[in-house]
Structure 1
Amino acid sequence: MSKRTLIVAVVTVWALVLAGAVGVGVVLLRGDDSDGKGSEEAGDTVTTKGPDGRSLEDFYDQEITWTRCGSNECGTLEVPIDYQQPGEGSIELAVERTKATGDRIGSLVVNPGGPGAPGTDTAKDADFYFADALRAAYDIVGFDPRGTGDSAPVDCLTDEALDAYVAADPDPDTPEEVKEATENSERFWTGCEARSGAVGGHVSTVEAARDMDVLRAALGEDQLDYFGFSYGTRLGATYAELFPDKVGRMALDGAVDPSLSARDGALSQAKGFETALRSYIQSCVDDGGCFLGDSVDAGLKTIKDLLAGIDAKPLETGDREGRDLTVGLAFYGLILPLYSEDNWPYLDDGLQKALKGDGSTLLLLADFYGSRENGRYTDNSLEAISVINCLDDPWSITPDEVPDNFAEFEQASPTFGDVFAWGLTACNGIPFTATDEPDLEIDGSGAAPIMVLGTTRDPATPYEEAVAMAEQLESAVLVTRDGDGHTAYNKSNSCIDDAVHAYLIDGTVPEDGLTC
């Protein structure tokens, strides 16, 4: 199965909440020619420049020097480590653009989500993410947000330690597993502090949004035209709050509710994945002869029994490194294909094999989830997502408090509820504290019209969150895709695509409440 064949989108800001330590995960699309840095190396790639007394205006006055990288152009953008003290050091952000193929309107800055996904890949794979009409009109500009990819990446664990971290049980149900989860969390945050340095405390969404305005200026644009997916919608909404007068044409697809607490966000996503799993099983049943059972309830029981069996005894995979499919890896392998209906056949294959004792396909899907290839991690997304999310909202509970949350989470998701409840411990022990407007409230007052898109059975960013974002942003209009999978654009829905193109290319704001 190639990266090109497996069609996935990226996870929302709340991501997947895992047992005690794993906290939050990421799904992202990477090209086959990825040259990202793995977590083993990331600690050596954080490049910072010391105090130099520069003002913020000095950063705004810079120009990007572009060089060829494959068929695109690449460059770097220098930004302050700390916007409250811009003269006290800087970092460089990786930037990549694919030039417009037709009559150019300007630059369209894009973000694929995560948080933690390297946005340069979105430009590298622009022909996959965006339709011809959009690529003809805009230079597609992707950047690795601070702390991710090649932009002063945070680092927390070696690749070997990250393997164990991901494979751990996301729903520890014995004292020994709870102890392991607690120790995993402690190792993760101790490692983040030791391996990431000062940048670890300055990778918040607010700071990334400020970086986007420096990027806007360096691109020579008076206003920011922007297309953000999943977590990228939170990043875009934050930009609209900080720089409302600089908002140009902004589309936010797979929108999150920026007002949700970490706990409420976890509840929302638990419900979203339950809805997506039930939709997948219903489709299987409707097709006849479903291998999972003759009803949705029967299918859910088959999957829950399978996971319980893997928890008791991991499955062999034939992996050349000798790895078995643990219940943690099985969870990732099950979750990932729910992001796109196009990926359901891979889930069919993975589950059918697992039911026969072969965990190879689910392991492959889990590795794709974590950007693991050929025995190493090609980026630091699994680490960055935890640091960014917990810096934005450090709230957490202790392991002793988790059982008190089971009932509410199991009501939201009978299949995944306990996993998401354990995820509430994820930020316990974070050594960093956000210093740049950590309590920012978002309404985007004064911004130009913003297009918010939501999909009715989106697992990672449930539709209700798109409705909430559209209500909170004063200038927003809501566009709805009735369908399965994560995000709405470029999913074979011409009504959605036409509305996006009319807005971003022609400036025609869609009717609020448009449903496709």
Structure 2
Amino acid sequence: MRRILVAVVVLALLGAGLVAAGLLGGQRDDPERTYPPAPPEAGSEQPPSARLAAFYGQQLDWQPCGDEECARLTVPLDYDRPEGRTIELALLRVPARAERLGALVVNPGGPGAPGTEYAAAAGAAFGQPLLEHLDVVGFDPRGTGDSVPVDCLSDDELDARIALDPSPDDAAERQALVRSAVDFGRGCVADDADLAAHVSTIETARDMDVLRSALGRAELDYFGASYGTSLGATYAELFPERVGRFVLDGAVDVSATAREANLGQARGFETALRAYVENCVDTVDSCFLGDSVDEGLGRITEYLEQVDAEPLAAGDGRQVTVGTSFYGIVTPLYVREYWPILSVALRRAFDGNGGALQALADLYTSRDPAGGFTDNSSEANLAINCLDDPTAIPPRAVADELPAFRKASPTFGDVFAWSLITCAGQVAESTEDPIEIDGSGAAPIVVIGTTRDPATPYEWAQALADQLDSAVLVTRDGDGHTGYHAGNDCVDDAVESFLLEGTVPTEGLTC
């Protein structure tokens, strides 16, 4: 599994769905906002090369967009051929509520998650001090959301792919998994071959510099979560002199190979699942999973084996497979506050009703009740990841990987081992050469890691902090994906003081 989501987006999506289902209460805060003018800063219009001059210093036409403002940004599809095809990126701005001190560009990760939705959820994602004084600006990276989205599969094909057994047990299931990878790669190119070859992280980082200029900023202030940390680190390598105040939360190890990344996530999700089960055993009378952590993990494994052999009914005509059960289980692990929802879903599944797990899987994959998808994040995730790194192993080699992955994650190890074939069908080739990232010359960059983060293990934050010359590591001791605005005042104070006042946290701060 290569997909990485940011916790607050999962929280926002889960919240909307669960409020509608009557499982959670909801409220909306719509304070009055001011729209102060922001004259361009000196040097903001200067392009990195004369060939790109037409794209720098753009005047964004902000228009009312619900409660926020929306605009479009024009960038070249291919930065090596800026005179060729251009594309437009979707932007959304949440204006500062009081005295405006600047603009904060944000990215929620994925890759593939729409940044406009992240900005629209700013009231849930960011603290009041930031909302009072910073415009929060989200953008849908190229190939995602409303920014010329890649389209690699039909809705029915994507549905079928999600339902596949991610750890095939026989030749037919293995063949189906391989065929799905091949069909995906071909589908991306068949729809728009040029776009499929130009959705790399490096090109999106270049887009961010065009956005910085359009916002009239000489330096970019940025908050990136999950994969957004990889994007931020890439920007720091390409434009170190343009780095303003950067926070990289739920950090990705940008030096990790595909195998190392999958192995790290296998450990991360196992650690998170153990923490969830331990919480049930320690705090709930007669935990429905059992009397010990090992017993609880065994019960979940038993369920996965049962649903693999005999899928459950979802209640809408679909079957709850082992694949959808996997997504349904891991989704609430991103946010500790949703562990009780996971308990509800598992209890029902153990009783033969897989509807709640299916609903959680649908939230993970952005599937709507009508059978369509609210965004293309599942497709964009693979298109971007596999363009950045098309590394894949042949199916016959997976058997050699299983021991290491099962040791890392007895529950999910097989799934992550088999995900090493994900990019086997990649057809599009990037025109960007890989870069080594150290961000030399950049201003201080705050890197945040959470000790029991399932999707971006804490070790990745340590690694990124070591790789970036100017990084300062902040550690959150806790559960869930990402550390800011997750109930830890120490982390929140450090982030907000840095973004608003420029106060760099103490190196090695542990919260």
- The question of a shared fold, defined as TM-score above 0.5 by the shorter chain, is answered with yes
Instruction: Give the match's secondary structure for 1:94.
Output: strand
In the alignment, structure 1 residue 446 sits paired with structure 2 residue 441? yes
In the alignment, structure 1 residue 381 sits paired with structure 2 residue 369? no
Return the letter of the residue paired with 1:316.
A
Equivalent residue for 1:456, pick from 431, 439, 451: 451
8 Å Cα contact 1:28-1:369 kept in structure 2: no
Distance 1:370 1:327 in 2: 15
Return the letter of the residue paired with 2:142.
R
Equivalent residue for 1:495, pick from 490, 495, 507: 490
| Aligned residue runs from structure 1 range 303-342, under 5 A | 303-319=300-316, 322-342=317-337
Distance 1:434 1:445 in 2: 25
8 Å Cα contact 1:84-1:436 kept in structure 2: no
In the alignment, structure 1 residue 94 sits paired with structure 2 residue 82? no
Return the letter of the residue paired with 1:467.
Q
Distance 1:60 1:381 in 2: 28
Q: Percent identity?
A: 57
Distance 2:12 2:110 in 1: 11
| Structure 2 partner of 1:410 | 406
Output one character per residue of 1:93-127: Cα deviation in whole Å (capped at 9) or x when no partner: 00010100111111100001100000001111110
Q: 1:328 to 1:27 in 2, by over 3 A?
A: farther
In the alignment, structure 1 residue 109 sits paired with structure 2 residue 105? yes
| Aligned residue runs from structure 1 range 73-472, under 5 A | 73-287=69-283, 288-319=285-316, 322-374=317-369, 375-437=371-433, 439-472=434-467
Q: CA deviation at 1:183?
A: 1.5
In the alignment, structure 1 residue 15 sits paired with structure 2 residue 15? no
8 Å Cα contact 2:57-2:216 kept in structure 1: no
Distance 2:299 2:192 in 1: 42
Q: CA deviation at 1:193?
A: 1.1
Deviates more, 1:209-218 or 1:98-107: 98-107
Q: 1:132 to 1:27 in 2, by over 3 A?
A: closer
Return the letter of the residue paired with 1:147.
G
Q: CA deviation at 1:434?
A: 1.2
Return the letter of the residue paired with 1:515.
T
After TM superposition, where is structure 1 displaced by more than 2 Å over at least 4 residues in a row?
A: 14-17, 26-33
Return the letter of the residue paired with 2:291.
D
Distance 2:393 2:121 in 1: 39
Return the letter of the residue paired with 2:287.
C
Distance 2:4 2:223 in 1: 23
8 Å Cα contact 1:223-1:246 kept in structure 2: yes
Return the letter of the residue paired with 1:303.
I
Distance 1:324 1:144 in 2: 32
Gaps of 5+ in 1: 1-10, 18-25, 34-53
Deviates more, 1:251-260 or 1:57-66: 57-66
In the alignment, structure 1 residue 72 sits paired with structure 2 residue 68? yes
Q: CA deviation at 1:197?
A: 2.8
Output one character per residue of 1:348-372: Cα deviation in whole Å (capped at 9) or x when no partner: 0010001110101000000000011
8 Å Cα contact 2:476-2:510 kept in structure 1: yes
Return the letter of the residue paired with 1:15.
R
Return the letter of the residue paired with 2:500.
I
Distance 1:16 1:129 in 2: 17
Distance 2:506 2:157 in 1: 50
Instruction: Give the match's secondary structure for 1:428.
Output: helix
8 Å Cα contact 1:83-1:436 kept in structure 2: no
Distance 1:16 1:407 in 2: 24
Distance 1:368 1:199 in 2: 27
8 Å Cα contact 1:16-1:420 kept in structure 2: no
Q: CA deviation at 1:317?
A: 2.1
Instruction: Give the match's secondary structure for 2:312.
Output: coil
Distance 1:370 1:128 in 2: 21
With the length of structure 2 as denominator, give the TM-score of the two structures: 0.91
Distance 1:483 1:298 in 2: 23
Return the letter of the residue paired with 1:315.
L
Q: CA deviation at 1:28?
A: 7.7
Distance 2:431 2:194 in 1: 12
Instruction: Give the match's secondary structure for 1:79.
Output: strand
Distance 2:469 2:225 in 1: 20
Instruction: Give the match's secondary structure for 2:138.
Output: strand
Gaps of 5+ in 2: 18-49
